[in-house]
Chains A and B, each alone.
Chain A
């Protein structure tokens, strides 16, 4: 069991990414191990979100490779990577704003639904049964994240905290093998943060999947994560257990500036 938990699920091997003259990531290597909660921290503009964008295929690094369970993701398109089971949330909540919360989640079942356009037009027999079966699975996640009351509301009109929740639920509905969370607690008050932290732990326990977390709130990071990687100006400057990071000099410098 112990060995299993240390096996790396995603290994990112020294990727580099640049836009024009701007070096966004240089030689970043991060492993995501089975069964861990990994935090990626760093000051604004350190390249954390760009790192995610590389992993799920929005950007293609010009150097290095991203291996997921022995498969090279570096050149794959985002929808292919999604089908392999990597789900993510977004810093700025990128929901399908015209759909209800429920339909947002159903849309996330996309990769698991098999019926095509023609049987969709008929909506009869197998298609209808498939629809209902997926609905049942989604209701479990709605139950887990306590969002029954907003089920049928159009997400564009929901308050910020609820939209964050829908974003997380939508990623969960993909039945992911790896979950990448991008600042799930940004802009929340203490209570909402506590709720969100509890959800992350619940998910981790229930689904037994590795979770990667970008977060600025150090208290949360120190509390719930197993390991931390620190990025600064596109470089990985430290990696280790929360206690180690807390006292790492380079990290302190990056956050507090040089004296």
Chain B
């Protein structure tokens, strides 16, 4: 039993990373209805920028954090300005394909920079394990878990209670209608991409805390997308719950099923979960069901 809980806790810790990645995707979707495949790149670049200052230049933690955020936000802004803004008014699917194009281009830049090597962040969080009831929890993972939950709360509050959040929600409902009430929709798009990029940077740093920065890192965006879709795409709560759930399923599944099928459950669990959710509830566990009108 204790073994099961250990697997579960480890899984949930990893799951909080998925949830963080998904949060950025949900944010962009909520305001623009664009599903961003490029988000994984923002996560990876966030981690890379942070490494540049912390590991590369040897700056202290806080001093590395701020330029990493700024640079990632700039990247997000650039994506919005140069690639997505020209597509306003075109079918949403074009924007989806555009984020896919951005993913490929940025993947090239990422690979070019890494040159086939990996980068490891120096430890910047307290190390060691916390022992509770016979379970051991790495403290740095616990910290990133808490950061994730706090960030979710903060973003939800922004959406619910600030004027900017109101503008974002209005824009999500109907671009033209929002425009006509005096909301500058283009600015909203820029803000949301900046916000999403900062969340991505947090996710990237938290991820790089537990794994190396290497050329596959951007593909965590796919896991994030899976979580976002299963959660319902427009639901932050859904992203959090499904993110944690996915980490749990992956880890526990790997622990108990790997011996039966010869390994590799972790690589495929997320995709199986996605397919099942899409077949049972096409609009996600927490998503709104759309009624088609004609």
Contacts and interface: CB of A to CB of B under 8 A. Distances in A.
Contacts of B294: 49, 53, 58, 90, 92, 94
Nearest to B291: A19
A204 B5 CA distance: 74
Interface string B254-294: 00000000000000000000000000000000000001001
B237 to A, nearest CB: 22
Interface string A9-28: 00000000001000000000
Contacts of A58: 294
Contacts of A53: 294
Interface residues of B, number: 2
Interface of B is mostly: loop
Nearest to A19: B291
Interface string A81-121: 00000000010101000000000000000000000000000
7 contacts: A19-B291, A49-B294, A53-B294, A58-B294, A90-B294, A92-B294, A94-B294
A108 to B, nearest CB: 17
A90 B291 CA distance: 18
Interface of A is mostly: loop
A92 B294 CA distance: 8
A94 B291 CA distance: 17
Q: Which 3 pairs of residues, A with B, have the shortest CB-CB distance?
A: A58-B294, A94-B294, A90-B294
Contacts of A92: 294
Nearest to A94: B294
Nearest to A182: B294
A49 B294 CA distance: 9
A19 to B, nearest CB: 7
A58 B291 CA distance: 12
Nearest to B292: A58
A230 to B, nearest CB: 23
Contacts of A90: 294
A53 B291 CA distance: 14
A67 to B, nearest CB: 23
Interface string A39-81: 0000000000100010000100000000000000000000000
Nearest to A58: B294
A22 to B, nearest CB: 11
B68 to A, nearest CB: 45
A173 to B, nearest CB: 20
A215 to B, nearest CB: 18
Contacts of B291: 19
A92 B291 CA distance: 17
B294 to A, nearest CB: 6
Contacts of A19: 291
A89 to B, nearest CB: 11
B11 to A, nearest CB: 37
Interface string B180-212: 000000000000000000000000000000000
A97 B291 CA distance: 22
A106 to B, nearest CB: 22
B288 to A, nearest CB: 12
Interface in B53-100: none
Contacts of A49: 294
A35 B294 CA distance: 28
A94 B294 CA distance: 8
Contacts of A94: 294
B35 to A, nearest CB: 23
Nearest to A91: B294
A183 to B, nearest CB: 13
Nearest to A49: B294
